Structure 1
C-alpha cells in the first residue's frame, strides 16, 4: 500500500497516527471464565471490572486494563488497542483512514467500554479489530515499589499471518510502525516506541493469535514469577531462556483456554538514530541465547499455531 492515497479528493501522506504504546489485548474463548481466573489468581493480574461473560484485568502499570477475556464460541483475538496522545489525533486518524479507504467500525467518539476513552476501531487486512484511543481512564500504579513478581504491561502480541509481507506493509504504512528485525523471512518484529517490538508477525498456514507476552520489571521478577506458577503446578511449555531478536527473556505457558501466554523482561530498547534492522538466522542458539530452553517442541508449535481465526466476530 502506498504511503500516499487519494480518496474523496483528499491526499493522505504518511501513517494515520503516531502510536504511543500497546495499551491492551482482548481475547475470546469458550473457557473465558477459567482463563480469567488463571490470569487473576496464578498469572498475577488484578480484576478491575467484570460483566456477564467478560472480565477486564490490569497489571501494575498505569493502564486501566491490559487484558480483556470474553466468552465466545472459539478461541480468537478480540481486539488490539493502541494509545495515541489526544482525541484530536483520533479524529485525524479517522479522516486519514477514510481517505485510505479503510472503513471505520466504530467512532471516532466516546468508547462504551471498561475504562472509557475516546477512540475509533477498524479492521486490518486479515480482519483483526484494531482500536486507537486517548483519554482512557488511568489508574494509580498498583506496586510503585516494583516488588511484586507480576506483569506491569502487555509487552507484545505475536500474530500468525498468511501473508507476512502484506501484514508488515499495512502496519508500517498505515499505522507507522517500524520493523526492528526479521527472523529470516519467517517472523518480523515491529515497534511503535523504543521497545524492540510490540507486534510480531509469524508466517503461518492460517490467521490466529500465536501468543501474548506480559512484561515483568526485571529478570529477578521474571524468575520469581515462573516460581509462583510452578507453585501452582503450572510448568513452562518452553523456557526460561533469552531470545536473540529483542534480547528479551522468555517463558511460555498455556492458559486454561489453550491460549499461549509469555512472561518476559528486559526487552531491548531501540535508539531510532542508530538502529539497523537485522535478519537473524533461525537456529536454536539464536532463538535462545542462554541455551537453557532448546528449540521449541512440536507441542509448543501446535499451541502457538492456535486454530484458524477468520476475525469479523463483530459482524455476527
Structure 2
C-alpha cells in the first residue's frame, strides 16, 4: 500500500553556488520564465499551467534541493502523513500551507538517501503560454534522474512508499519509474555516490525539440550528448550543462504507457539501444563526468 496516488512530477529544486548564472541561463537561454525571485532563489515556469517547474537556490555546493509530486487534495496529503507515520518515515514538514512561491498545501519527508520529497496540492496555476506556438520553450518537467548508491533500495522505496511502477530497466544499472502514463518521471542510476544525474524538460513536439537545440547552438551552447532517441522511453534527447555544471536535457515524444498492456523489459546497455537514431553515439567520458555530479550528502535542512 502506497501512501498516496501521485498525479505528476511537479517541480525540482536545485541548489548551487552559481545561482545567479544558473537562473539567468534558464531564463535567457533555456526557455523558462521567472515567476518570482528573491535573495538567492529563483522560481521558473515552463509553457504549461504549472506555477513553477524549477527552483534554483543558492547553496555551498551543487545538490538536489527537493522533488515535488502533485496529489489530488488536502485530504490525500493528510492521509499520506498518517500512512508515512505508520511506515516509520518521519516528516520534515507536517501537512499545512506551503510557505513558498505558488503556495499550496503539502508535506515533506526524506527518502533513504536524504533527498527531500514534497507531496502537494492546490498550488497556484498559471496561464499556459503559446501551446501551439513556435517558441522553443519547455512545456513541463519530464523527469529527473538521480544517482544512487543502492538502486534496489531506492526503487523499493519509491515503489512501496510512493506507489510508483517500474516501466523498464537498463540492465541492473538504471531503473525507470512512472506515476502516470509517461514512461518515467524519475529514474535511478547505480553510482559511486548520491547526486543529481540530470533534469529533463519536455518540449511540446519534436519540432520544438529541434528548435530548442538550434536556439542553444545560436547562443554558443553545444550539446554534451545528442540529439538522439533513447531506447527505454523512446524519447528524443539532447543533453547540455548549465553554468553550474548541472546537466539539463531537452526531450520530446516520451512513450505513453497503457497499464493493462505494458510489459516491463530489461534493455541491454549498448550504443545502438541508448540511441536508436545512431546520431549521438555513446556518451563520452565528459558526459559521464557531468552526470556523475558531486557527492550530495542530502538532509541539507538539518545542517
TM-score range, shorter chain: over 0.9
Q: Distance in 2 between matches of 1:258 and 1:23?
A: 23
Normalising to structure 1: TM-score of the pair?
0.95
State the Cα deviation string for residues 179-208 of structure 1 (Å, max 9, x = none): 000000000000000000000000000000
Within the alignment, does 1:258 sit opposite 2:245 as a pair? yes
Alignment-derived partner of residue 101 in structure 2: 114
Q: Distance in 2 between matches of 1:234 and 1:144?
A: 25
Give unpaired runs (5+ residues) of structure 2: none
Alignment counterpart, residue 291 of structure 1, candidates 278, 287, 303: 278
Alignment-derived partner of residue 59 in structure 1: 46
Within the alignment, does 1:164 sit opposite 2:128 as a pair? no
Runs of 4+ off more than 2 Å: 144-147
Alignment-derived partner of residue 127 in structure 1: 114
Within the alignment, does 1:174 sit opposite 2:161 as a pair? yes
Alignment-derived partner of residue 5 in structure 1: none
State the Cα deviation string for residues 51-74 of structure 1 (Å, max 9, x = none): 100000000001000000000000
Q: Distance in 2 between matches of 1:198 and 1:146?
A: 25
Within the alignment, does 1:16 sit opposite 2:3 as a pair? yes
Within the alignment, does 1:244 sit opposite 2:236 as a pair? no
Within the alignment, does 1:207 sit opposite 2:194 as a pair? yes
Q: Determine helix, strand or coil for the equivalent of 1:106.
A: strand
Q: Distance in 1 between matches of 2:55 and 2:184?
A: 21
State the shift of 1:147 in Å. Answer: 2.8
Q: Determine helix, strand or coil for the equivalent of 2:245.
A: coil
State the Cα deviation string for residues 253-310 of structure 1 (Å, max 9, x = none): 0000000000000000000000000000000000000000000000000000000001
Q: Determine helix, strand or coil for the equivalent of 2:79.
A: helix
Alignment counterpart, residue 304 of structure 1, candidates 285, 291, 295: 291
Alignment-derived partner of residue 70 in structure 2: 83
Q: Determine helix, strand or coil for the equivalent of 1:155.
A: strand
Indicate if the aligned counterparts of 1:146 and 1:217 stay in contact, CA closer than 8 A.
no
Alignment-derived partner of residue 131 in structure 2: 144
State the shift of 1:150 in Å. Answer: 1.0
Q: Distance in 2 between matches of 1:247 and 1:146?
A: 24
State the shift of 1:149 in Å. Answer: 1.2
Q: Determine helix, strand or coil for the equivalent of 1:170.
A: helix
- Structure-2 change in CA distance of 1:33 and 1:163 (3 Å): same
State the shift of 1:145 in Å. Answer: 2.7
Q: Distance in 1 between matches of 2:14 and 2:133?
A: 27
Q: Distance in 2 between matches of 1:283 and 1:67?
A: 32
Normalising to structure 2: TM-score of the pair?
0.99
- RMSD of aligned residue pairs (Cα, Å): 0.5
Give unpaired runs (5+ residues) of structure 1: 1-13
Q: Distance in 1 between matches of 2:129 and 2:81?
A: 34
Within the alignment, does 1:274 sit opposite 2:261 as a pair? yes
Q: Distance in 2 between matches of 1:122 and 1:312?
A: 10
Q: Distance in 1 between matches of 2:131 and 2:235?
A: 23
